[in-house]
Amino acid sequence: MIGMNEEEVVRLFLKNGFQISKNALGLASKNPEIVISHFKKIKNRPFIITEQHIKEVLGEISKKPINVKLIKEYTFDRTPTSVDDYIKELSSRYEKIKSFLLKQMMPKKLVSINKIGLKTTKFSLIGLVREKNDISMLIEDPTGEINLYVDENIKGELKNVLLDDVVGVQCKKIKEKYYIEKIFYPDILSSRNISKTKDEIKIAVAHAPLDLTEPKCKKLVDHLSTIENLSVLFLFSYVEKAYTNNVFSKFNLIQILHNPVPKLFQLDEIKFLVVPKPFFEGYTEPVITSEIFLSILKRRELFAPAISKIQKHKKFILDDPPDIIISNFDGPFCQNYKGTTIISNSNPQKIFIANLKTREVHETSI
C-alpha cells in the first residue's frame, strides 16, 4: 500500500482480526495484504503473528512463482521486397488460412478454379477476394479467378467480406451463372477446449491508474492488494519508470506502453494476446471495439490500417486462437467468443479481474 508505515500495518492486521509482534513488522510491511490473505485461509490461526510465521508464509509464496513468458511480437518488416518475395508471402498466407478453412468447412466437392467446367453444378472452393460489389465477388486461387454471384438469402453477409480475405465458398450453378450459397471463414472451431489453470491464479487489467487523483489511485491499489491469488497485472500506461519502482511492482507487472506492437504472452497453458490501441490508429470510420476483435478471431488474422496499407503478411496470422485478448482500444468491455475472452479497458477507474482457473471475469469500478 502506498506510504504505509508500521502503525498502519498494525492497524491493518487488527482490522482483519490479527495481532502482530514487533519483530514481524519489518517483514510484514513488504506485502501485508498478501500475508493477511494467507493467514485467513488457515483453520488454526495463531493468536499473535510472529516473525517466524511471516517467514513461513513468504516461503510458501516463493515456492509458487508465476512465470509469464513473452513468446511472440507481431512486428512488420518494412524493408523493400522483390516481386518474388511478395508472391511467396502471399502464397504462404493463402496456404496457412486454407488449412484453417479445411477444418472449418469439411467441404464436399472441393475444387480449384481451373477445374470448374461447363457440367459442374455444385462445388466448394477456397480463394482470395480480389473485388466485390453489391451482388458478386471476384475470387482468385493459385489456378485462376472466377466471378461468383451471391445468393439472395446471404446478400446481407456480403458487407462483412473484406478485400484480400481468404474465404471458403459453397456454390451452385443456375443457368449460366455461379452463385455462392454459403461463406466460410477460418474461424475458431466450436469444439475447441477452454484452457484453464489447475491452481487458482488471477490476473488484472488496468489502464493508467496514475492518471487518477492520489486518493483514487490509493483506493485502486488497496483493492488490488486485497484480491486473493492475484498474481499478474496487465497495465496500459505511457510512462514506464512511473510504475517500475512502486507498489505496482509487487505483482508480476506486464506493462504495455504506447506503441502499436501486439504481443503474445503465455502463463501455463493460457495464451494472452495483448493488442494496444495504437495498433488500430488510422480508421477513418467509427468502429465498435467488440466487432474489431470478433473479426480478428473469425479471420484468425491481426489486421489494422497500418497493415492494410501494405501487403498482407503471414507474420500476422494467429496460428492458435489466443485464450484471452487484452486491449485498451476504447471500452471498457468484456466478451467471450468460442473459448476466447476479450477484455478491453481504457478507463483508469475500472479494473477487470480474470480467474484463470474458472475463466470468470469480474469488473470493478473505483
Q: Could you read off the pLDDT of 153-184 as tens digits, one per residue? A: 898 888 889 888 999 999 999 988 999 999 99
209 with 221: CB under 8 angstroms? yes
Q: Among 128, 150, 184, which residue terminates a domain?
A: 184
Task: Return the pLDDT at 79.
Answer: 60
Choose between 101 and 33: higher pLDDT.
Answer: 101
Q: Among 161, 184, 207, which residue terminates a domain?
A: 184
Domain that holds residue 162: 107-184
Task: Return the pLDDT at 310.
Answer: 47
Give the pTM.
Answer: 0.79
**Pair 135, 244 in one domain:** no
- CA-to-CA distance for 319 and 296, rounded, in angstroms? 12
309 with 296: CB under 8 angstroms? no
- Residue 1 domain flag: no
- CA-to-CA distance for 222 and 342, rounded, in angstroms? 25
With residue 54 as reference, give the H or E element that holds it. helix 51-62
**Pair 157, 196 in one domain:** no
**Pair 30, 175 in one domain:** no
**Count of structural domains within the chain:** 3
**Pair 58, 130 in one domain:** no
**Pair 254, 166 in one domain:** no
- CA-to-CA distance for 260 and 281, rounded, in angstroms? 9
- Residue 98 domain flag: no
**Pair 203, 349 in one domain:** yes
Other C-beta atoms closer than 10 Å to the C-beta of 183 total: 18
In this structure, what CATH number is given to the domain that contains residue 226? 3.60.21
State the pLDDT confidence band at 89, using cuts at 50, 70 and 90: confident
**Pair 226, 303 in one domain:** yes
**Pair 178, 204 in one domain:** no
Q: Among 151, 184, 217, which residue terminates a domain?
A: 184
Task: Return the pLDDT at 207.
Answer: 94
**Pair 25, 135 in one domain:** no
pLDDT digits over 269-310, tens only? 999 999 999 888 776 666 677 888 999 999 999 886 655 544
- Residue 81 domain flag: no
Q: Is 335 helix (H, G, I), strand (E, B) or coil?
A: strand
In this structure, what CATH number is given to the domain that contains residue 45? 1.10.8.800
**Pair 310, 241 in one domain:** yes
Choice among 3-17, 212-226, 268-282, 302-316 with the minimum mean pLDDT: 302-316
With residue 241 as reference, give the H or E element that holds it. helix 241-244
Query: Mean of the pLDDT values across residues 140-160?
Result: 92
